[in-house]
Amino acid sequence: MRLYLLALNPTASVTEGFLPAAARLGLDVTVLTDQAGAHRRAYAELPSAPEVVACEVRDFREVVGLLSQRAPQDPDFAVFSNSDHLQTQTALAAAYFGLPAKDWRATLRAKNKGELRRHLAAAGLDTVRSAELAPGQDPSELASLLRAADVPFPAVIKPREGVASEDVSLVAGIEELVRRAEEVQDHRPGAALVVEEFLDGRLCTLETLGDGHRRHVLGGFRTRLSPPPDFIEEALVFVPAHPLAVVAQVLAQLDAIGVGLGACHTEFVVQPDGRARIVEVNYRAIGDQCDLMLAAVLDLPLFELVLDAHLGRELPADLGERCAATPLRARNEAVRADRAGTLTAAPGPHDERADERADGVRLVHRPQRAIGERHEHYRTNRDYLSVIWAVGPDQAAADAAVAGFVAANRWEITP
C-alpha cells in the first residue's frame, strides 16, 4: 500500500516520526511537496528514503489531479499530512477518492482563526470577542472594527491562518495595535489579521487521536510562555490527565468544530473559575519534538497509530485509559536566541537511553540551528537554537535532567 504524504518544508515529525513509522507498517511512501529539493536532501541519509514528487500541494486540485494520474499504478493508497497548512487540501483530496479523511469543514474551522471564533460562538459554547482585518485593509479602520465587536484591551493580534505564534502580539491600546498591524502587513502582504480579547489563565494543551469512530485523549501539557508581548513556548510539562471538567469543556468545543479523525493538538487556557477557553486548534500532531517525547512518555507507537487511523484501521478501545495510566513524566524545553546574529557555539545532537543514566531518564537534545548560520531575531519559535526533552520516572527527575544539560552546555550568538 502506498502512503501519499503532503508536506511543505521538512520537519522532524515526518523525518524522525512518520517516515520510520510508515516503514514499520510496510507502507511505500511518496512525499508530495512544493519543496522537493529540500526533502530529497533531508532524506538522503535515511535507510529507506521515500519517493519525493513535486506538487503544488497548497492547491487541492493539483493534488487530486496528480493522484488521479498515479492511481492506475497504485490503486491502493492513503493520503495524509501533518502540516498545519495542508489539512484542508489533504482532507479534500482524500475525500475525493473515498479514502479515510478528516472533515474539510473542521480543518478549515481549525485553521481559520476568525471562522473558529464565529463557529464556537454560533454553537453557544464560547464567545471570544474578535474582529478581522481583511487582506490589504487599512489598519486605521481597526478602531471602528473593535468598537463594533466590543473587543477590549489588552488584545491579541495574530494572522488569521498563522502558526507557531509568528506575528502574534499582546497590545495595550489602539495606537500600538495599528502600528503592529502595519508591521505584519509589511512582511505578510495579503494576510488577513484577527484581533481578539486576551484570554488570561493557565495555558495548557490537549492531545487527542481519533479513528473516525472513537476519539481518545492522549494526555496534554502545561505550557510556559515567554513574557509579553510575545507568546513563545519556552517549556512544556506532560500532564497525563487534566481535570475531567476541563477536558469535557474542551472536547465539547472540538465536537462542535467537527474534530474526529486523526491527531489534534488543542491549546486552551483554564481561568480561575475553571472555565476552559480554546486559544487555537491545530488539527495535526503536536510538534517541536513534543510528538516524539509524547510517544516515549506514553510508551506507544504513536506515529503508527496516527497512520493507522488514516488507513481506516480502528484504534485500541482502551487507548485513552492506557495513556492516562502512564507512570512516566516528561519535560520539553527550548533554548532561544535573544538577538540577531550567527550561532558560533552550541552542543551537538545527544540521545541517552534511560538505562544509560543513574536517574533512569531518557534525555534527548536536538539542535534547531546549525553552527555558522546567521538569523534575525524573529520573536517566535524560529529563534529556537535547541530543543531538549526528557522522559523519566517522575517530574523532578525529568526537570533536573533538562536543567543539567542546559547548565553543562553553552550557546553563543555573535552579532
Q: pLDDT by residue (tens digit) across 315-342?
A: 999 999 999 999 999 999 999 999 999 9
In this structure, what is the dihedral angle of CA atoms 229, 232, 235, 241, given to the nearest 10 degrees?
A: 90
Q: Cell 493580534 belongs to which residue?
A: 157
Question: For the residues 342-362, what does the mean pLDDT come to?
Answer: 96
Contacts of 336 (CB under 8 A, 6+ apart): 226, 232, 234, 383, 384, 385
* Cβ contact 225:165 at 8 Å: no
- Cα–Cα nearest to 368, from 290, 292, 289, 296: 289
The pLDDT, as a whole number, for residue 39 is 98
- Cα–Cα nearest to 30, from 4, 60, 64, 65: 4
The pLDDT, as a whole number, for residue 48 is 85
**What's the burial of 293, exposed, middle or buried (CB within 10 Å: 0-12/13-18/19+)?**
buried
| Biggest distance spanned by C-alpha atoms of the chain | 61
The pLDDT, as a whole number, for residue 164 is 78
47 pLDDT above the threshold of 90: no
The pLDDT, as a whole number, for residue 3 is 98
d(CA 396, CA 387): 19
Dump pLDDT digits (tens) for 60-99. 999 999 999 999 888 999 999 999 999 999 999 999 999 9
**CA 257, 258, 263 angle in degrees (round to 5)?**
105
Other Cβ atoms within 10 Å of 175 Cβ, number = 10
163 pLDDT above the threshold of 90: no
Question: For the residues 347-356, what does the mean pLDDT come to?
Answer: 95
Question: For the residues 18-40, what does the mean pLDDT come to?
Answer: 97
* Cβ contact 206:266 at 8 Å: yes
- Cα–Cα nearest to 365, from 12, 18, 9: 12
* Torsions phi, psi for 383 (to 5 deg): -85, -5
d(CA 112, CA 308): 27
d(CA 204, CA 34): 33
